[in-house]
Chain A
Amino acid sequence: GAVVSQHPSRVICKSGTSVKIECRSLDFQATTMFWYRQFPKKSLMLMATSNEGSKATYEQGVEKDKFLINHASLTLSTLTVTSAHPEDSSFYICSARDYQRTSGRQETQYFGPGTRLLVL
């Protein structure tokens, strides 16, 4: 199946600093990528939809100035957590939509391995 990578896998930072997380589709082009946040033993919460060459679409309640998303190429989307605070500590997961494997009734997304962020 399609492979999606994330970097870094885990990061520890001081409060007030910014952290950038990369999401790459390794063997396919992804015009659309998604960023999720997940709390321990809970399901995934969609934060935003990242579209190549255009602005990201944020879900209600997600601060776009806090979580900056850039989708500069068909294989790379980045999420920057600006001025991070302890409450931003979480597991962040990206997914990429494989357009070639997606037909009208079948939505195929492949997930990255996640990034564990700890803000001290």
Chain B
Amino acid sequence: TQLLEQSPQFLSIQEGENLTVYCNSSSVFSSLQWYRQEPGEGPVLLVTVVTGGEVKKLKRLTFQFGDARKDSSLHITAAQPGDTGLYLCAGPEYGNKLVFGAGTILRVKS
């Protein structure tokens, strides 16, 4: 079973600060996905990274896929209270399944 280690598990910051969430594995993934989930709702797909070294930007969010396709990071610039939520990285495993990281709970205080 491929494992994804996500860190930090919890992050509480002030509005306007920057932050980075990491997703690491000893295994190579064909792609990695990042989701954001709010309490009582299902995860919403933010981005899929496919190519080693790829960088994708989504407004204030920057996603990077490691050159070896074993790790990924999510960087948020000037965080806002609306960014609060649970952030999950996930990668495909055998049988079309997704393996998830443990998640990062982000709280942005105004």
Contacts and interface: CB of A to CB of B under 8 A. Distances in A.
Contacts of A97: 96
B48 A106 contact: yes
Interface residues of B, number: 24
Contacts of A109: 45, 98
Contacts, number: 62
B82 interface: no
A46 B92 CA distance: 13
Looking at chain A's contact residues, the main secondary structure is strand
Contact of A34 (B33, B40, B97, B101): B97
A117 B94 CA distance: 29
A49 B88 contact: no
Given A42-B103, A44-B88, A114 B97 contact: no
Looking at chain B's contact residues, the main secondary structure is mixed
A7 to B, nearest CB: 13
Interface residues of A, number: 28
Contacts of B95: 49, 57
B100 interface: yes
A87 interface: no
A61 interface: no
Interface string A3-47: 010100000000000000000000000001010000001111010
A6 B86 CA distance: 20
Nearest to B10: A41
B30 interface: yes
Interface string B11-45: 00000000000000000001101010000111111
9 contacts: A1-B45, A34-B98, A41-B86, A57-B95, A91-B40, A106-B50, A107-B92, A112-B42, A116-B40
Given A97-B96, A105-B31, A107-B31, 10 more contacts: A34-B98, A41-B105, A43-B88, A49-B97, A105-B30, A107-B33, A110-B45, A111-B35, A111-B45, A113-B41
